[in-house]
Amino acid sequence: MRRSKLNILLVAILVIVLVLWLAVPFGMALLWSLVDPSKAWSYPDLLPQKLSFVRWTEMWETTNLALAMGHSYTLAPIVAVCTLILAAPTAYAFARLDFHGKTAAQMLSLLPLVVPEFVTALFFTSLLYKLGIYAKFPAIVLGHIVLFLPYAIRILTVSFAQVRQDLIDAARDLGASPWARFSSAFLPVLKPGILAALIIVFIQSIEEFAISFVVGSPDFTTIPTILYSYLGDNFIRPNAAVVSLILVVPNIILLLIFERLLKSNGAVTVGGKG
């Protein structure tokens, strides 16, 4: 009884802290992005004197933000699909095949997470120079794929492991063709995993900074590299606020859709697991 009351209090405090933690910073970002350039928001004003969408239109028209967004949103789906296709066979082997050195192989698949991203980015660039490859778009696609393969492999391994052998056997016993076997025994269980891998990789690719920045500089921009250019030494707060919101808001919407999809797919998974 006492414990539960204490919990309610603690939860309430934490929710308030998190609201301050998330809502206040994002609210301020939103305010900053709406500051009208004609009336600067500076000490001692508590709130901006004038709000407008001027910054947004200005950013869109005068900077290469549109180009960067185009880059990011072409990169991400290509990376997501390629990563998924390349990860699937390895995940299948990890989940359903028996072989010597499986643990070692699984550890090795985490390699991209262990090497610092900037080291990967820098010496990947050096490798590209040595090979005389100057096409930045495919180079970044390759870099992203390798960087995010561990996530996709991990997610799909769990999915493949959930496929029940008795269902596959039953399908074979009933004379199902390989495709029928795949679509009846594998696909229903794999679907949430495939979806999860696609969305996680998509979001990661949109957010990725190190490779896009090092390989892409100076001319190839993505949303995070644009954001970076407005932070740091050359700090332009309203512009950074605009880019931050452009970077974050679609991701949050995507994650909400993803949660919704996973929930409605839950029934399929449970049915599949029996």
Partner 1 sequence: MRAYSPSNWKHTGVVLLCLLPGLGLIILLIGTVISMAVAQSVGYFNFSGPSEFSLIYWQKQLASPFLHRSVLYSAKISLLSSLISVGLAYMFAMWLRRPFPGSTMLGGLLKAPMMVPGLVAAFLLLNVIAFHGFVNEFLLWTNIISKPLRMQNDSFGTAVIFLQVWKQMPFALLVLIGPVQSIHNEIFDAARDLGASAWTRFRKIVLPLTLTAMQAALILVFIRAAGDFSFQVIVGPREVSSMAQYMYTVQRLYGEWNEAAVVAVVLMTMSLTGALLLAAVSQFLVTGRRR
Site for partner 1 in 172-231 (CB under 8 A): 203, 207, 209-210, 214, 224, 227-228, 231
Between CA 170 and CA 117 the distance in angstroms is: 46
Shortest Cβ 145–partner 1 spacing (Å): 7
Residue 256's φ and ψ, nearest 5 degrees, are: -65, -45
Q: Are 140 and 189 in contact (CB under 8 A)?
A: no
Between CA 101 and CA 209 the distance in angstroms is: 34
Question: Contacting partner 1 (CB under 8 A), which of 51, 78, 93, 161?
Answer: 93
* Contact window for partner 1 (CB under 8 A) among 53-61, 68-76, 173-181, 232-240: 232-240
DSSP 3-state of 241? helix
Q: What phi-psi label fits residue 101: left (phi over 0), alpha (psi between -120 and 50 degrees) or beta? A: left
Shortest Cβ 2–partner 1 spacing (Å): 13
Nearer to partner 1, 13 or 67 (CB): 13
Task: Give me the residue label for tokens 């996973």.
Answer: 262
Shortest Cβ 188–partner 1 spacing (Å): 22
The two structure tokens encoding residue 64: 């290469």
User: Residue ranges of the alpha helices (H) in 46-186?
Assistant: 54-62, 65-96, 102-108, 111-114, 117-131, 136-162, 165-173, 178-181
Nearer to partner 1, 119 or 174 (CB): 119
DSSP 3-state of 274? coil
* Contact window for partner 1 (CB under 8 A) among 124-132, 167-175, 180-188, 191-199: 124-132
Counting contacts by CB under 8 A, is residue 78 touching partner 1? Answer: no
Shortest Cβ 238–partner 1 spacing (Å): 11
In b/e form, how buried is each residue of 228-249, taking b as 16+ CB within 10 angstroms?
Answer: bbbeeeeeeebbbbbbbbbbbe
Counting contacts by CB under 8 A, is residue 1 touching partner 1? Answer: no
240: nearest Cα among 221, 219, 226: 226
Nearer to partner 1, 67 or 252 (CB): 252
List Cβ neighbours of 60 (8 Å cut-off, separation of 6 or more): 66
Counting contacts by CB under 8 A, is residue 99 touching partner 1? Answer: yes
Counting contacts by CB under 8 A, is residue 117 touching partner 1? Answer: yes
Number of residues engaging partner 1 in binding (CB under 8 A):
77
139: nearest Cα among 125, 120, 150, 152: 125
Shortest Cβ 132–partner 1 spacing (Å): 12
Question: Contacting partner 1 (CB under 8 A), which of 34, 35, 41, 139?
Answer: 41
Question: Contacting partner 1 (CB under 8 A), which of 69, 140, 163, 241?
Answer: 241
* Contact window for partner 1 (CB under 8 A) among 23-31, 132-140, 163-171, 191-199: 23-31
Question: Contacting partner 1 (CB under 8 A), which of 52, 63, 90, 162?
Answer: 90
Counting contacts by CB under 8 A, is residue 162 touching partner 1? Answer: no
